[in-house]
Amino acid sequence: MVEEKITFRSGFVALVGRPNVGKSTLLNAVLGEKISIVSRHAQTTRNKITGVWNGENSQVVFLDTPGMHKPKSELGKVIRQSTVDALSEVDVIVFICSCVDPLGAGDRYILSLLKERQVPVILALNKIDLITKEELMKKVVQYNKIYDFADIVPISAQTEENIDTFLHIVETHLKEGPKYFPDDMVTDQPERNIVQEIVREKIITRTRDEIPHAIGVFTEEFSERENGKVYIRCTVYVERESQKRIIIGKKGVLLKEAGKEARTEIQNLINAPVFLDLWVKVHRDWKNKDYILRELGYKEHK
């Protein structure tokens, strides 16, 4: 009896969509670990975050791209370009939409970009936990009329409903290929990058609408001390003195609370005690300064 050869499938998959549709939440749900910043605010993901998922006979390398938006600064242009670049690097594209939001001009714009790509496009209709089955069916019909998707899968990234089905569908669209990363590797992001994303998330969560996306975080130092503790110093960039006062908070309480929560999460990430030192620095119009954008990792060094 001839033994049937098992095909190993692999490939790169881009998660794209408007801001706040749940791309980062989906990636974290798939991986079972938090590697991508999650916030109710738009434009929280600023870099292409790579997450690696291993199936029994497959490996999927996910790129969590920033939400597509009209750029208003040099930073905005860099963010948008990183998403466009990701589309040319992948084998499959997952277009994520929120079931609770109307199909808008932003969705149509992204789909117009996807039509130029010669790869399968899967529609993931997210947040199905917030609508009825009848409403979901109407959404499916609506999206089917405007684009020829390779597959459509309803999911809830928040409750993790249908995540296994989603992964199975992604697998079926991958071709035979090698294992790009070792089994125990969840992301290719350096720890210092994940640290600064965690710090930024904790500050954004506490400042709500008071601070728009004028926050940039840079890990100045990441070193192990003789006492076994890992010393991490981060600089938080803002554009105005008023923003600095808001982030620090009355008697320094807000920054202290954000730092405490970030430290706990970082310790769980690196499995070591952490001393987290946060500093807030005002740098007017930093989002349009090339050298700062390079320092923060949004642009490559020349």
From the annotation, which residues make up the binding site? 17-24, 64-68, 126-129
In this structure, are residues 153 and 123 in contact, taking their beta carbons and an 8 Å threshold?
A: yes
Question: Position of tokens 């006979």?
Answer: 57
Average pLDDT over residues 265-270: 82
Pairwise pLDDT comparison (173 vs 227), residue with the higher score: 173
From the annotation, which residues make up the binding site for GTP? 17-24, 64-68, 126-129
Q: How many CB atoms lie within 10 A of CB 236?
A: 22
Strands 9-16 vs 175-176: parallel, antiparallel or unpaired: antiparallel
Query: What is the DSSP code (8-state) at residue 161?
Result: B
Average pLDDT over residues 255-270: 89
pTM higher than 0.75: no
Question: Position of tokens 């209709």?
Answer: 125
Contacts of 94 (CB under 8 A, 6+ apart): 13, 14, 15, 16, 121, 122, 123, 124, 170
Please say if the pLDDT value at position 39 is more than 50.
Answer: no
**CA–CA separation, 297 and 22 (whole Å):** 23
pLDDT band at residue 38 using 50, 70 and 90 as cut-offs:
very low
Q: What is the DSSP string of 51-98?
A: EEEE-SSEEEEEEEPPPP----SHHHHHHHHHHHHHHTS-SEEEEEEE
Any idea of the CA torsion for 176, 177, 182, 185, to the nearest 10 degrees? -80
Please say if the pLDDT value at position 124 is more than 90.
Answer: yes
- Give 118's Cβ-side CA count (13 Å radius): 0
Average pLDDT over residues 126-136: 94
Q: What are the pLDDT digits (tens) for 14-32? A: 998 887 788 888 988 898 8
Enter the tokens of residue 11: 């490939």
At 129 the three-state DSSP class reads helix
Range scoring the smallest mean pLDDT among 69-83, 113-127, 150-164, 262-276 = 69-83
Q: What are the pLDDT digits (tens) for 210-256? A: 665 667 888 888 888 878 788 999 999 888 888 899 999 999 999 99
